[in-house]
Structure 1
């Protein structure tokens, strides 16, 4: 792709999208201080260990770097915005939140680890399928940036409260998640942006965060059953197999 076209398409994605807002200053140092204070407070009250506190505050400190992944299958070859969050002050908090949600996501009825896992599940369904059975897959457009934060926070809170042996209190995990989402700063071509909705494609806070929200949405919107006996199969391929197109 021509460099000029690449930059132009990325700029269009950032300026014509309600998900992002251009800002005038680099907030990296301010975010670093916020993360350090939060980690220090959690450590003092015993929510996290000194080692984890050190890990959370060990980033060098830089804003996310914007990249574009060409969607070759679409007309005009639009770009998928991907944020390289390496060394962002909040990225290690994002990692911890994802870890705390992992067990919940893998326990979702519609969870699929990979293609092999999907084929293995199909083997357990009685064949032939009952007349009228429909196999389908739902795809969410721009999944990560489209996740509504208020609804997702409620879903995450419920999931965290169901943990059998929580290593970090729910409220502290939620505060870390909020810090990640509210301070997702991005730089590109000399301009600076912040993400105002959803989460960034490329951030460590993404896969389990989005899957937790979708699992909650699914339970509310779809009469979902996965029957080993094969009486009924209505399969929504969420979890790790949901693509962000």
Structure 2
């Protein structure tokens, strides 16, 4: 099984005159739009702008987007840090490390990619795309769940620049189409509403909702990996030419 990455193709310069003219026109329109944007009046008055700047400079608060919706939440910094410590101290899901393993992870990934490349299991494009360079640790932060009692935080680890960032994107690229085909897959609330019949429901019908605490951290790693491997293996064996 040989894997390939999505190709980044650009037209050969000078080959398609009409296309290049269109690109030049679009670039010109964008530059004009950006130059006009510089003169757009501020939608806040001086007092409001001053208040925002004052909040930004305060070191005793943390400003985050709410976990649900677009609400902006101003949090007491000490309480925010206490909530982070509470979650990170749960040894079922987190382990305190004595040193930063980022370089070690990068080296392990590079070694694995080298071996796969030599065996022709991945091509040059995949190898170059997934190979980690100039990496940094993941960044942990919380999004307040203002719709829940006690306003706990949803833990998020930003993997931008992390050794596994590109690998995660690559796996998601291959898994997403198969996940969306599962009979019990729901994308969001709108998807649920569209799939739920509004008429002819059996009587009596009771709709039930439930909440799973620490959903993603409770997924068993071994079982999760095996499920992903099974889906990928079956799909590649069936239609290997469709693997981007």
Q: TM-score with structure 1 length normalisation? A: 0.61
Q: 1:168 to 1:144 in 2, by over 3 A?
A: farther
Counterpart in the other structure of 1:133: 205
Match in the other structure for 2:90: 16
Residue number in structure 2 paired with 1:5: 79
Instruction: Work out which structure has the larger RCO, using CA pairs closer than 8 Å and 6 or more positions apart in sequence.
Output: 1
Pick the aligned partner of 1:38 from 112, 116, 124: 112
2:159 to 85, 91, 96: 85
- Counterparts of 1:221-232 in structure 2, within 5 Å, are none
Q: C-alpha separation between the residues in 2 aligned to 1:95 and 1:36?
A: 17
Which of 55, 65, 84 is 2:139 aligned to? 65
1:47–1:168 contact (8 Å) kept in structure 2: no
Match of 1:149 among 211, 221, 242: 221
> Partner of 1:95: helix, strand, or coil?
helix
Query: How much has 1:75 moved relative to structure 2?
Result: 2.7
Cα offset for 1:58? 4.3
Large movers: runs of 4+ above 4 Å: none
Structure 2: 5+ residue runs without aligned partners? 1-74
CA RMSD, aligned part only?
A: 2.3
Across the two proteins, how many residue pairs are aligned to each other?
A: 167
Please report how far the alpha carbon of residue 90 of structure 1 lies from its aligned counterpart in structure 2 after TM superposition. Answer: 1.1
Q: Structure 1 CA distance, aligned partners of 2:86 and 2:161?
A: 26
Change (3 A) 1:159 1:138: farther
- Is residue 138–residue 157 contact of structure 2 (8 Å, CA) maintained in 1? yes
Q: Does the residue aligned with 2:206 lie in a helix, a strand or coil?
A: coil
Change (3 A) 1:131 1:75: closer
Q: 1:161 aligns with which of 215, 233, 240?
A: 233
C-alpha distance in 1 between matches for 2:205 and 2:137: 48
TM-score (norm 2): 0.62
Higher mean Cα deviation, 60-69 or 110-119?
A: 110-119
1:14 Cα deviation after fit: 0.3
Cα separation, partners in 2 of 1:115 and 1:5, compared to 1, 3 Å: closer
Determine whether 1:97 maps to 2:163. no
Rounded to whole Å, the distance in 1 between the matches of 2:78 and 2:218 is 28
Q: Helix, strand or coil for the counterpart of 2:170?
A: helix
Query: Given that residues 64 and 84 in structure 1 are in contact (C-alpha distance below 8 angstroms), is that contact kept between their aligned partners in structure 2?
Result: yes
Q: Which segment is superposed worse, 2-11 or 61-70?
A: 2-11
Indicate if the aligned counterparts of 1:9 and 1:78 stay in contact, CA closer than 8 A: yes
User: Match for residue 187 of structure 2?
Assistant: 113
**Contact 1:48–1:168, Cα closer than 8 Å, also in 2:** no
Gaps of 5+ in 1: 170-245
Change (3 A) 1:28 1:126: closer
Contact 1:59-1:88 within 8 A present in 2 as well: no
